[in-house]
Amino acid sequence: MRWFLDPRLLTSLIVGAILAVLMLPPLVMLVQGSVLSAGGSPVWTLSHFRDLFTAHRGLETMANSIVFAGGSTLLSLLIGGVMAWLVERTNAPLRGLAWVATVISLGTPYVLHVVAWLFLLGPVGPFNDLYRMLGGNGNLVQVQSMGGMILIEGFLWSPLVFLLLGATFRAANADMEEAARISGATVLQTVWRISIRLAMPAILALALFVFIRAIGAFEVPALVGIPSRIYVLTTAVYDSMTRMPPNLGYASAFAVVMVGLVSVLLHFYSRLSANAEKYQSVTGKGYRPRPFDLGAWRWAAGGLILLNFLVVLVLPLLALLWLSLQPYSRGFSLAGMKSLTADNYRAVIEAPNYLELAANSLIVAAGAASVIMLLAAFAGWIAARRGPGGRTLDQLAMLSLVFPGIVLGVAVMEVYLRVPLPIYGTLWIIGIAYVIRFMPFGMRYVYAGVLQLHIELEEAAGVAGAGYLTVLRRIVAPLLTPAMVAGWLFIFLIANKELAIAVLLASPGSQVAAVAVFDLWVNGQGGELAAFGLLWTVLMTGVAFLFFFQSRRGGTDIYGN
Amino acid sequence: MTEPDLRIEIEDLVVNYGDVRAVDRVSLSVKRGELVTLLGPSGCGKTTTLRAVAGLEDPSGGMIRVNGRTVYSAAERRNMPAEKRGVSMVFQSYAIWPHMTVFDNVAYGLKVRKVGRAEIVENVHRVLDLVQMRQYADRPASKLSGGQQQRVAVARAIAFSPEVLLFDEPLSNLDAKLRVTMRVELRELQKRLGITALYVTHDQEEALAISDRVIVMNGGRIEQIDTPEEIYRHPGSLFVAEFVGNANVIEGQAETTPGRDGSLGFRTASGQMLRVAPGRNASGTAVALQAAYIDLFPPGRSDAPNAIAGTIHRRMFHGDFIQYLVDWPCGQLLVRRPPNDLFAEGSAVVVSFAPEYCVLL
Amino acid sequence: MLTVTGLTRVFANNFDAMAGGVRDASFNLPAGTFFTLLGPSGCGKTTTLRCLAGLERPDAGFIGLDDRVLFDGASGAMVPVHLRGIGMVFQSYAIWPHMTVFENIAFPLRVSRDRSYGREEIAGMVDQALSTVGLSGYGPRPATRLSGGQQQRVALARAIVHQPKLLLLDEPLSNLDASLREDMRIELRRLQQQIGITTVYVTHDQSEALAMSDQIAVMDRGRIVQLAAPRAIYFTPANDFVARFIGAANLLVGTAEARVATGGSGMVRLVDGIGIICVFPAGIEAGQPATVAIRPESIAVAPANGPTLAGVNALPGILQDASFLGATLRCDVLAAGQLLRAVAAPNAAFAPGAAVQLQFAADAAVVVEAA
């Protein structure tokens, strides 16, 4: 009987129960929904799955998903990788611009970015206008295509790839490369045969991670793909949920297929990253390599960084600015300069519903971030210290990684349709969906943060007479605070960026910012969308700068690396 | 005019880290076939000097010549990249590439120099034999112990028959016992192959055991350059006396005229009169005396040189020697005796030491 | 008084081929003893220490401190780590970076469950601990602004401030520079004797163990292979593992000429026919193989045609190499078919290739059991 007096085990059980209640029902309901027939008295059936492949072009949709995800992964790896290399390993000028671009993109909702690109590359946008002015016919860029989708999604993800690859390059140990130089290898030979080979496992793991996220992407397929009739798995799910009546069984079947695919990919991802850690330097004394001197090529490198900054950041923001100052959506032109107006901004600032909208978004995100960090603090600490039930807690907390955003929306909807809690159609259900969705990130932050604390710091407190709670309170919590704050800010930021979770769960009385932007686009209200979007971005960018400086100070990178 | 016999020459080398001067006008030279050690505490500039020779640090002034070629010169604005200097190096962390086998690690330098396949195999096997790692040739390098990695690092460094070999504290990550065995092996190898070596360590026993000459450094400057015996017997400064061996430092004032036997009188701060050896450029205010050169006798011996009564304060048995802390009029004396020379704590003794071992600082 | 009986803690798997952990360790320490667990990595010394601390749960055995039972495998009783009231210095020092020196040292007093300490009492005890370790006045300093040596002293002060009955030290000197290490050895030993606390010390450095301890337990692959005072370990190693681990021992192999009683002396005939007189701590029968351990410092190097002394063994050999070590000249001599190590005075003039004789007393040649 003595075992359950162990306070760590007790904590583990409580936290585990909460996590289980959060994570498991959606998964169960999803699977259930996919094998039950629609209608009043459901029976077991595989008809949904059969329909997937026959009636609704399931195979084509899956193929689209893979092509889309693969193409955008490669593009973002290319852009983000080159930027990361230039910034972390060379003496290229203007390196700070890459960081500014990343921070601002952290504050920008995805849907806003996509809208900007749709405008820029669209039939009435400046690119095609320029092309026509130079004598071309029709459109140079056909953005409503798979190519357009891949391009925009690639731009969307390159800042994050930059951050993660940057962390890998920064962790490079000098002496492996110095040993190669001493052995007679030139700089280029060293980079090719040593630096890149050593970083390869980490790069592959990252590529797989980005691919998994791209499979679950929603904004680009929704805004660009649907009008072009190019469906991927996520938009197929959305489509079947937004018909009248919603085809829940079908959406669930699609969702289950997605979950299966992502689970398999996640399995390979965890194998790859375990391998990647083996190649990291083990001796603590390693110091960072000197930056490569690019010589005359410095200016070309600086030019590349500037180009990236302009294309990925400045252009879209300028486009939004333009849109926000126009009474209706029109291309760049001198005539348009005359009709600049601040009406859209006035509408946004004066209308009460925008303020309420902003407040809702902030409250829900803040609430979810707080709940996540609280649960993750205990779960992450127990898991990182291999306490009782640690592995189970880890797995439970990471479970929602298999849900792309839209799938989670469906699953949460199914659960809370049946559960007699009056939260359906309120902000609460969005908050719960956020908690489920972003728990893995909180977990990663806490886990990595705890690992950075030498366990002897806690053991010394134990030997000195402190019980388990005292150790947590007086030793772990103060030292973990930087990681916790960074995690909180990160979750707060990305919760506001994502559209997919909230798009199915929001209702007229309970809207968040990303959904509002989406609705405005669908309704053709480009001007107000741009005005609201820019104001929102300014606000969130402030938070993003906070996050950036906090994680720099605390020593943890984004994603808790 | 450069003599072909000098493999490494450094003149007035200056290296700055930000506003800290890590190496402050250091000059030294290493002859062909010599093993010269840079010895000093952490932060004294020894590693920075070594890395500057390798081409892994950017100096701010001075000149470095390797094998008669100028590889760095501030005046001529020349800074040859590391891979062209023809020096090889064993790193403190070994820096063995984990994604290659042992064979590929060792062969890398030869491959980059575009040596033929058959010759590569022959060379790699030859050096692996020298370090007794031949049977591990096909093992992935990530699966080696610390001692094994160290040997592979050495093999890799000598595979392309360099003329100059640099060692950056290669033994400090090894267990105490392995350190002693490996240093003998390294010295053996260096002498057998006739390689010129510049070695860095903070362990003075290591430096004394394997070097032809020792260069003691402190705060970016050279304190003394000499053979191990000379450094030990005739430390040139207080720092060297305290860093090398276990020296007692006795303060006082020396006389100016030597006595009949050539020794100098030295009055200690507490009033004792000692006979010491005359010093070269010494200020005469302190005397360094190595713990190992002090004899202990039972009370009553007055005919021994510099005999003074004292009491055993503490005895510590170290296995191959016993260390005593002896209370005597000038404070406390550290004395090292062979393991069978036993005196009980608290007993009265007479300490004695020959004037030739008292080095005037 | 620390009593440990049959302590066992075995690990399920390990990355090396060696099985980790400790098996069946037993020792009794009178109060105030400085006791060292000595051995190579993986021998189980740290596991033993952590079992004493309560950071590992043993599989079996008994640990008692004075009249308290800390662990009893038979009944399953175990006092948790935070209620043991002992002091420990970790290898990494584990100084809490978000506190000052004062707060670090005061911590055990502030979280104590046995009794509560008043503010002034705490301040007094912390000041006392600081002065004991030679860091008076460092109280207000943030812990992040301490050098390695200072962190070590703060860790020590924190371990003794609440006047525990047992002090555990886990390789506390291994992160220090060579010269600082030697100074700290003397310091630590002096402090321990001044306070009079029972101390268990873990290290892999044999000269450290020899210099500081009252008793040493040499461990090999989880077991204690010899438990004795330093001089005994050094001069009469129990087997050749101990002989080789404790110092550079010369090991000669031969056969016993005649039967010898326990503790007696007799002749061992070496491989090339030469006979040497040795002592046999465990006795032997005629014709049995014998391994003889001789310390290098016990062997004097003399010119080959010099005088021999009665009762002193003289082995002819050729000098291979001589290393100057400052206080001594370490000589490698080829004799009796192998390379033997001996010491000579630093100003001895022997050139490589010279014919020499190695002289050593009979009681310096000790017959050891093979490990």
pLDDT at A50: 78
Could you say which of B81, B91, B173 has the minimum Cβ distance to residue A179? B91
How distant is the alpha carbon of residue A46 from its chain centre?
Answer: 33
Residue B269 is encoded by which pair of tokens? 């701060």
Tens digit of pLDDT for each residue in A45-57?
Answer: 787 887 777 766 7
pLDDT at A285: 47
Any idea which residue has 């705060």 for tokens?
B219
How large is the ipTM?
0.79
Rounded to whole angstroms, how far apart are CA atoms C327 and A393? Answer: 61
- What angle do helix axes A146-170 and A196-215 make, rounded to 10 degrees? 140
Most B CBs within 10 A among C15, C297, C301, hence the mutation to make, goes to C297
Indicate if the pLDDT at residue A286 is higher than 70: no
Rounded to whole angstroms, how far apart are CA atoms A48 and A33? Answer: 10
Q: Which residues of C touch B336 (CB under 8 A)?
A: 327
Say if the Cβ atoms of C84 and A463 lie within 8 Å.
yes
Most A CBs within 10 A among B17, B93, B160, hence the mutation to make, goes to B93
Q: What are phi and psi of A98, to 5 degrees?
A: -60, -40
pLDDT at A283: 43
Indicate if the pLDDT at residue A337 is higher than 80: no
Residue B10, strand partner residues: B28, B64
pLDDT at C130: 94
Indicate if the pLDDT at residue A183 is higher than 80: yes
Cis peptide leading into residue A245 (ω within 30°): yes
Indicate if the pLDDT at residue A273 is higher than 80: no
The Cα of B226 is separated from the nearest Cα of chain A by a number of Å equal to 29
Instruction: Give the residues of chain C that fall short of pLDDT 50.
Output: 17
Average pLDDT over chain B, rounded to an integer: 89
Where is mean pLDDT largest: A488-497, A523-532, B214-223, B235-244? B214-223
pLDDT at C46: 92
DSSP 3-state of B331:
strand
User: What is the DSSP secondary structure assignment for residue B244, as one 8-state letter?
Assistant: S
pLDDT at A288: 66
Contact between A183 and B109 (Cβ < 8 Å)? yes
pLDDT at C52: 96
Could you say which of C185, C204, C206 has the minimum Cβ distance to residue B319? C206
Strand order in the sheet with B78-79: B20-31, B6-17, B61-66, B69-73, B78-79
Q: Which residues of C touch A470 (CB under 8 A)?
A: 111
Say if the Cβ atoms of A459 and C94 lie within 8 Å.
yes
Nearest to B24 by CA among B34, B15, B37: B15
SS3 of C142-168: the string is EHHHCCHHHHHHHHHHHHHCCCCCEEE
- Tell which wins on pLDDT, A175 or A24: A24
> Does B112 reach chain A within 8 Å, measured CB to CB?
yes
Say if the Cβ atoms of A181 and B82 lie within 8 Å.
yes
Contact between C92 and A454 (Cβ < 8 Å)? yes
Tens digit of pLDDT for each residue in A206-226?
Answer: 898 899 889 889 999 999 998
Residue A214 is encoded by which pair of tokens? 């791209």
Contact between C336 and C316 (Cβ < 8 Å)? no
Most B CBs within 10 A among C212, C321, C324, hence the mutation to make, goes to C324
Say if the Cβ atoms of B95 and A175 lie within 8 Å.
yes
- Count CB-CB contacts under 10 A for residue B192: 9
- Count CB-CB contacts under 10 A for residue B337: 18
- Tell which wins on pLDDT, B281 or C262: C262
Q: Which residues of C touch A475 (CB under 8 A)?
A: 96
The Cα of B146 is separated from the nearest Cα of chain A by a number of Å equal to 11
How distant is the alpha carbon of residue B285 from its chain centre?
Answer: 27
- Count CB-CB contacts under 10 A for residue B318: 21
Q: What are phi and psi of A3, to 5 degrees?
A: -60, -35
pLDDT at A40: 63
Q: What band does A284 get if pLDDT is binned at 50, 70 and 90? A: very low
Return the minimum-mean-pLDDT range out of A251-260, B159-168, C7-16, C148-157: C7-16
Rounded to whole angstroms, how far apart are CA atoms A47 and A558? Answer: 43
- Count CB-CB contacts under 10 A for residue C223: 15
Residue A219 is encoded by which pair of tokens? 């904004």
Rounded to an integer, the average pLDDT of B117-132 is 92
**Chain C residue with Cα closest to A478:** C98
The Cα of C15 is separated from the nearest Cα of chain B by a number of Å equal to 11
Indicate if the pLDDT at residue A205 is higher than 80: yes
Sketch out chain B's domains with CATH numbers.
6-232 (3.40.50.300), 247-360 (2.40.50.140)
pLDDT at A512: 87
Rounded to an integer, the average pLDDT of B155-176 is 89
Indicate if the pLDDT at residue A560 is higher than 80: no
Q: What band does A334 get if pLDDT is binned at 50, 70 and 90? A: low
**Chain C residue with Cα closest to A459:** C55
Rounded to whole angstroms, how far apart are CA atoms B160 and B176? Answer: 30
Return the minimum-mean-pLDDT range out of A106-120, A284-298, A530-544, B67-81: A284-298
Contact between C369 and C299 (Cβ < 8 Å)? no
The Cα of B352 is separated from the nearest Cα of chain C by a number of Å equal to 16
Average pLDDT over chain A, rounded to an integer: 85
Q: What band does A277 get if pLDDT is binned at 50, 70 and 90? A: low
Rounded to an integer, the average pLDDT of A102-130 is 86
Rounded to an integer, the average pLDDT of B236-251 is 88
Rounded to an integer, the average pLDDT of B243-267 is 85
State chain A's maximal CA–CA distance in angstroms: 86
Say if the Cβ atoms of B108 and A180 lie within 8 Å.
yes
Per CB distance under 8 Å, which residues of C are interface residues toward A? 53-55, 81-88, 90-92, 94, 96-98, 107-108, 111-113, 155, 158, 162
- Tell which wins on pLDDT, A407 or A276: A407
Most A CBs within 10 A among B96, B106, B112, B172, hence the mutation to make, goes to B112
Q: What band does B227 get if pLDDT is binned at 50, 70 and 90? A: very high
pLDDT at C199: 96
Rounded to an integer, the average pLDDT of A29-48 is 77
Say if the Cβ atoms of A178 and B156 lie within 8 Å.
no
How distant is the alpha carbon of residue A370 from its chain centre?
Answer: 18
Q: How many CA atoms lie within 13 A of A470 on its CB side?
A: 16
> Does A5 reach chain C within 8 Å, measured CB to CB?
no
DSSP string, A352-406: HHHHHHHHHHHHHHHHHHHHHHHHHHHHHHHHHTT-TTHHHHHHHHHGGGGS-HH
Say if the Cβ atoms of B208 and C190 lie within 8 Å.
no
- For residue C265, what are the CA distances in angstroms to A323, C242, C259, C277? 104, 21, 10, 7
Rounded to whole angstroms, how far apart are CA atoms A178 and B94? Answer: 11
Tens digit of pLDDT for each residue in A545-556?
Answer: 888 888 777 654
Q: Which residues contact B198 (CB under 8 A, 6 or more apart)?
A: B8, B30, B36, B37, B38, B50, B53, B164, B165, B166, B167
